A and B are shown apart, each in its own frame.
Chain A
Amino acid sequence: MKYESQGVAKLYFIAAIGLFVGQILFGVIMGVQYISGDFLFPEIPFNVARMVHTNLLIVWLLFGFMGSAYYLVPEESERELFSPFLAKLMFWVFLVAGALTILGYLLVPYATLAEITMNDLLPTMGREFLEQPTITKIGIVIVALSFLFNIGMTILTGRKTVITLVLLTGLAGLAVFFLFSFYNPDNLILDKYFWWFVVHLWVEGVWELIMASLLAYVLIKVTGVDREVIEKWLYIIIAMALISGLVGTGHHFFWIGTPDYWQWLGSIFSALEPIPFFMMTLFAFNVVNKRRRDHPNKAAVLWALGTAVMAFLGAGVWGFLHTLAPVNYYTHGTQITAAHGHMAFYGAYVMVVLTMISYSMPIMRGHKASNERAQVFEMWSFWLMTVSMVFITLFLTGAGILQVYLQRYSEAPLGFMVTQDKLAIFYIMREVAGLVFLAGLIVYILSFFVKGKEVEVI
């Protein structure tokens, strides 16, 4: 570790991994509920489990992004963090706010939670991914602004690199687009517009900048390839991401009461959205192929390549699968959507955070890379989680195709629940794959504790 203040990242990463475990536990609980509806009812109803699953995902990814930024920025800027104290303070604020919110979901009915948190004053609750009480949302904004201030001051008063500037733009965009979550018009159609301005413009806009810059940073470190080469790639990738992703929001406006032109705009621009993900694969392969050294942290290289490929698969390919209006007419809101949501979130954002952790955690613990046995564990966890996620996606895709056919395409369409009964086999297989994923996650955590012959000490 070149700068002492990079060490705050460790806190953030530990919290991220802890919440990741929570997310997956609720995932496998819901997986059982899909097979046997009464499971854990009334203690943990499906809608609550779902909210906890998705909110934990978002929160731990935010912890991951912040930790990554705190690790990366001092090194790139060649100076200590502007305020390590603020970084630690905000960590605890965010952790406590996050934990209280999740407990709120679990312990009281959602309507009661809305009441005690005085949702009436500024109603923002009740929308997928943005279920947090208004007061939590305000907390998130405070944490995000303090974080941006801290990172921004470090970047602007230090060495400026393309990587930090792209990262800063992405993080600033993340904070700005979150502000749309405070606007909650009564008109359901307008409401959906603004909801997507958060959700879509995050994952298919500014988060892509964050992802590309983190990936570029790790790739420079593990391959020793010249910065200039990597910077050129970064420019093209982010340009393509923004050109396609902004108007691409239209792929969510096909059937919600919006003007017809969105079917054209959304289809055409979102059809270009796979390009930045494709380019990230090309970029990562190219850089690894041209590497000037073999870094002892093989696990980090594996995660970096895996991120590029899986993001292309989940976002690029599985996104394209249902993004054209004539296809989406049939697939909208089916298990196809869930299949894509899982692989895209895992392949792009989960994996890029794990890539950063894989690269930086050993260094923060005083080694250039983990010992060999630990790396073997880590690589096993990579394959267990990644392959099981491919299977989760395939089973949900199968379920989705059957669902579309029986419920929407066939000449004698079946009702929703009648169709669901016929998808049982897929849900059982999805749950098995989910349990393998959980096993992979356990192996991942073990990898931090495995002892063995250390590689280079720094």
Chain B
Amino acid sequence: MEGGFFYRQKNLMRSTNKIPLQRASNAALASLLNLTLLPVLGFAYLIFTFKKTDPDGIDRYHTILGIKINIIAATVLLVVSGLMIFFGGFDSPWTWVYVISYFTIVHTVFIVFAIWALVRAWSGEKLRSSFTKT
């Protein structure tokens, strides 16, 4: 069915909750930026907006998601790469074989995930929707 009940419901939800939606979108964007062009700054923005968000709102959800993802990404990328360098040795070519390949592919996985989170935030939804589309 074209459109459908849930679709209209969602549109309704979207038009009535402009401000939290805006904040959720900004948070998701900050999370993506922190992973790409503006590391640290993006994260600072997330911490900064956290206080403004509504505890049960979609804005809080995406802010928390952004914070979590970036903490995990920082750990998984920087700490693991750091350990590889520490144990592999700075002067071993094999260290760089692992570090560069690992960093590039895993970093991209986080970015792609953050892109998905961003489009979910744009439509005012959590990562998993509670209803299916018709």
Contact = CB atoms under 8 A, between A and B. Distances in A.
* A, B from the same assembly: yes
B12 interface: no
Interface of A: 224, 278, 281-282, 285-286, 289-294, 309, 312-313, 317-318, 321, 390, 394, 397-398, 401-402, 405-406, 410
Contacts of A286: 119, 122
Contacts of A318: 104
B112 interface: yes
Interface in B81-133: 93-94, 96-97, 100-101, 104-105, 108, 112, 115-116, 118-120, 122-123, 125, 133
Given A293-B133, A397-B100, A281 B93 contact: no
B7 to A, nearest CB: 6
30 contacts: A224-B2, A278-B115, A281-B112, A281-B115, A282-B118, A282-B119, A285-B115, A289-B122, A289-B125, A292-B2, A292-B133, A293-B133, A293-B134, A294-B133, A309-B112, A313-B108, A317-B108, A318-B104, A394-B101, A394-B105, A397-B100, A398-B97, A401-B96, A401-B97, A401-B101, A402-B94, A405-B93, A405-B96, A406-B93, A410-B93
Nearest to A281: B115
Nearest to A283: B119
A136 to B, nearest CB: 38
Interface string B64-78: 000000000000000
A410 B96 CA distance: 13
Nearest to A318: B104
A286 B119 CA distance: 5
Contact of B101 (A281, A282, A291, A398): A398
A304 B2 CA distance: 21
Interface string B2-23: 1110010000000000000000
Contacts of B112: 281, 309, 312
Contacts of B93: 401-402, 405-406, 410
Given A397-B101, A401-B100, A291 B133 contact: yes
- Which of A281, A289, A406 gathers the greatest number of chain B CB atoms within 10 Å? A289
Contacts of A291: 133
Given A285-B115, A293-B133, 11 more contacts: A282-B115, A282-B118, A285-B119, A289-B120, A293-B1, A293-B2, A293-B134, A309-B112, A312-B108, A312-B112, A394-B101
Contacts of B134: 293
A290 B119 CA distance: 9
A14 to B, nearest CB: 33
Contacts of B105: 390, 394
A222 to B, nearest CB: 13
A397 B115 contact: no
Interface in B22-70: none
A390 B106 CA distance: 12
Nearest to A317: B108
Contacts of B7: 292
A309 B105 CA distance: 12
Contacts of A401: 93, 96-97, 100-101
B97 A402 contact: yes
Instruction: Give the 3 A-B CB pairs with smallest separation, nearest first.
Output: A405-B93, A286-B119, A285-B119
A285 B93 CA distance: 38
A397 to B, nearest CB: 5
A292 B3 contact: yes
B104 A317 contact: yes
Contacts of A390: 105
A313 B109 CA distance: 9
A282 B117 CA distance: 10
Contacts of A405: 93, 96
B73 to A, nearest CB: 15
A335 B76 CA distance: 27
A416 to B, nearest CB: 16
Which of B2, B115, B116, B123 counts the most A-chain CB atoms under 10 A from its CB?
Answer: B115
B118 to A, nearest CB: 7
B101 A321 contact: no
A397 B108 CA distance: 15
Contacts of A309: 112
Contacts of A281: 112, 115
A289 B119 contact: yes
Contacts of A285: 115-116, 119
Contacts of A294: 133
Contacts of A224: 2
B123 A290 contact: yes
Contacts of B118: 282
